[in-house]
Amino acid sequence: MIFIWILMAFVVITIFRGVKSVPQGYEYTVQRFGRYTHTLSPGLGFIIPWIDAIGRKMNMMEQVLDVPSQDVITKDNAVVKVDGVVFFQVLDAAKAAYEVAELEVAILNLVMTNIRTVLGAMDLDESLSKRDEINSRLLAVVDQATHPWGVKVNRIEIKDIQPPRDLIDSMARQMKAEREKRANILDAEGFRAAAILKAEGEKQAVVLDAEGRREAAFRDAEARERLAEAEAKATTMVSEAIAQGDLQAINYFVAQKYVEALKDFAHSPNQKTLLLPMETTGVLGSLAGIVELTRAVGPDAPPRPPAAKAPQRAVFTTDPPPAPRPPQPARPQPPAAG
């Protein structure tokens, strides 16, 4: 009876040792007497009990490794602290298990050494501004190095690059100087644009003023031309009337010139003396000649009156009257000779 119970327990244990359940995302390597034979995929797997054994349980999902911070000397001898992160995935469980010992430590050391190599070939400014180039170069080198291990490195990202404090202060001053320089350049360009626009406006104003003066001069010349034509026509008519023996035309011409001379003399700012007729009827008589001239043109013209006697003229002046002379004392007579 005891033997039966021992036999049943042995059978149950043998069954449990021969049946293996592999979870999703993992693969198990099978070893027979310590030698790799095959790999169990996710699901239910069978091995030979007491002969085969599970060697390594490999994680086939994408994994993340944090790269610790380390000091790196750049090409221009600047010391910076650099850290990063690595994303990798095991593609071949057997190679990852038996081609390298401590896979994660090997990948981590490989990434750290290549970070020093890549950043050591760059200046500080390049290392700060060319993150994508650094990541690409690191990915290409590390992925090629880990390919024999059955590992695929998907991404390598540099998380932070920290220069020394004095370099940060120097970079801040440099950035401030560059910004002030750009601001001064923008101000200068703004002043130049404003000066150009102002000059263009003044030029346009001068051009428009010149065009206006030219148009005004043209109109003035046209007006003077028409006035001259009118005066010439009037002179011709007066000349024809004189040639026909019409003395009223002479009176019209003289009266017109007389009135124009009085108007110009009245508008003069520095007039001193004004000559007017003694009799006001003299001016009226001169003006009456114009009316008679117009009447003489009609068919029923009245007879002409005799010519008026030239009026005497009085002189009026705006100058103050001369001061009277003081009386001269009588000169003493010399005594008569005896």
pLDDT of residue 338: 35
Same domain, 83 and 170: no
* pLDDT exceeds cutoff 70 at 283: no
Q: Is 336 inside any structural domain? A: no
Same domain, 55 and 67: no
| 67 φ/ψ angles, rounded to the nearest 5 degrees | -90, 120
d(CA 261, CA 57) in angstroms, rounded, equals: 130
Give which of 273, 257, 260 is closest to 313, Cα–Cα: 273
Q: Is 183 inside any structural domain? A: yes
Number of domains within the chain: 4
Q: Is 90 inside any structural domain? A: yes
Q: What's the mean pLDDT in 288-295?
A: 53
Report the SS3 class of residue 291: helix
Q: Is 325 inside any structural domain? A: no
Q: Which residues contact 160 (CB under 8 A, 6 or more apart)?
A: 69, 81, 82, 83
| 156 φ/ψ angles, rounded to the nearest 5 degrees | -135, 120
Q: Is 136 inside any structural domain? A: yes
Cβ atoms of 237 and 253 within 8 Å: the answer is no
d(CA 193, CA 213) in angstroms, rounded, equals: 30
| CATH code for the domain in which residue 122 is found | 3.30.479.30
335: tokens are 């005594």
Same domain, 120 and 151: yes
Domain span at residue 195? 165-217
Same domain, 7 and 45: yes
> pLDDT, tens digit, for every residue of 224-241?
888 888 878 877 877 777
Same domain, 182 and 156: no
Same domain, 173 and 138: no
Same domain, 93 and 140: yes
Chain CA centroid to CA 43, Å: 68
Q: Is 102 inside any structural domain? A: yes
* pLDDT exceeds cutoff 90 at 314: no
The gap between the terminal CA atoms of the chain, to the nearest Å, is 219
Q: Is 112 inside any structural domain? A: yes
DSSP 167-227: HHHHHHHHHHHHHHHHHHHHHHHHHHHHHHHHHHHHHHHHHHHHHHHHHHHHHHHHHHHHH
Record the pTM. 0.53
> pLDDT, tens digit, for every residue of 98-132?
999 899 999 999 999 999 999 999 998 888 889 99
Chain CA centroid to CA 171, Å: 28
d(CA 112, CA 80) in angstroms, rounded, equals: 14
Q: Is 134 inside any structural domain? A: yes
